[in-house]
Amino acid sequence: MLVTSGEGTRNGCEKTSFIFLRQELPVRLSNIMKEISLLPDNLLGTPSVQTVQSWYVQSLTDILEFLDKSPDSYRVLSDFSDTLINIRNRHNDVVPTMAQGVIEYKETFGVDPIVNQNVQYFLDRFYLSRISIRMLINQHTLVFDGRSNPAHPKHIGGIDPNCDVIKVVKDASESAKMLCDQYYLTSPEVLVNQFNGKAPRHPLQIVYVPSHLYHMLFELFKNAMRATVENNKSSTTLPPIKVMVALGNEDLTIKISDRGSGVPLRKIDRLFSYMYSTAPKPVVQNLQTAPLAGFGYGLPISRLYAKYFQGDLNLYSMEGHGTDAVIYLKALSTDSVERLPVFNKSAWKHYKSRTEADDWCIPSSEPKNLSKFSHHI
């Protein structure tokens, strides 16, 4: 639907897209609104989460006004596109505002394992739902606004049927290098290699959303460069960041390898946790301008972008040496179907479940300082 509905006047039809979206968007909004209502009362009651909830209620109300309107009316179609743009703009700050709500909750009530588990489950589904809703809105408004993008004339909305993966890799690395240079006055070299196992000597191209791929890559390059610079301060030269891009029959895989000393295995899961962010608390002046930078959500949301079209993003670290970050994408567009959260009885049970005692012996998550016990030995 995402690609075929966007093929302009050839196959796409604004009426068909209108009929689909006026039915589908309320379903997606309602599903995630139901899950918002199942959050712990103390989290749901924070001002930031209340603000987000009000945005979703208003957006659902706006879409429902078009359920009985005729798709044959040009005015209706025009008003619908304007409404979608308003909804998209209204939700621009959903990620940082919800993140601020989590901070408000943690500062007041602290964190316990049950709440952490439920909030992690919810935010993964909530942010993935948001990605999907914005994708649908962007496809409709980009394709049917009557204009073509002169910079990307062959794009179908936000989708590039021939996405040049190496170009996106280089664009993202250059942007990260610029940021690294501004902050540290230096940056590591990025070495890119490629292998096309599907069609040797041909460019690495897939059907994908370049902005999604850029988002993931920029986050990984930024982290790799920061780790490389900060953990090689005594060296006269910085070890390069190595990138390998490989295309097979099923997967397009991107591996980014750094020499930034890595992280312990016990901390890997925390890098993808919304509740255990070690990033400094950002200064939020008001709910309309809440900054995303500083919440530590870059990695978990980048993983969601990968998972949205059935891919994944994983970290493999060797403490003392460095980290490999690997992005997996589907090589075939037919496999790149949306991964969507659906509210049902299973989801409801997840929010109502309670963590039972583990039936394995689990050591403390933090290593002990045995020196303080030496006098007992």
Asked about 170 being catalytic, the answer comes back as no
Q: Which of 106, 155, 222, 242 is catalytic?
A: 222
Q: Give me the catalytic one of 215, 231, 232, 242.
A: 215
Burial group, residue 262, by CB count within 10 angstroms (0-12, 13-18, 19+): buried
How do strand 251-258 and strand 312-318 relate by DSSP bridges? unpaired
**Active-site residue among 219, 232, 242, 330?**
219
Instruction: Report how far residue 328's alpha carbon sits from residue 135's, in angstroms, rounded to the nearest whole number.
Output: 20
Which residue of the set 118, 223, 231, 232 is catalytic? 223
Site of tokens 């909750």: 105
> 222 catalytic, yes or no?
yes
Exposed, middle or buried, 376 (CB in 10 Å: 0-12/13-18/19+)?
exposed
Instruction: Calculate the dihedral angle through the C-alpha atoms of 114, 117, 118, 123, rounding to the nearest 10 degrees.
Output: 150
User: Which amino acid makes up residue 237?
Assistant: T
Tokens 């689990």 belong to which residue? Answer: 362
Both tokens assigned to 278? 């070690």
DSSP 269-327: GGGG-SSS--SPPPP-S-TTS--STTS--HHHHHHHHHHHTT-EEEEEEETTTEEEEEE
3-state secondary structure of 160: strand
Is the CB of residue 265 less than 8 Å from the CB of residue 319?
yes
- DSSP 8-state assignment for residue 198: S
Backbone angles phi, psi at 253, to 5 degrees: -120, 135
* Residue entry with tokens 């009316």: 73
Find, among 253, 367, 358, 362, the residue nearest to 314 by Cα.
253
Tell me which residue of 144, 128, 139, 46 sits closest to 95, measured CA to CA.
Answer: 128
Q: Which residues are catalytic, by number?
A: 215, 219, 222-223
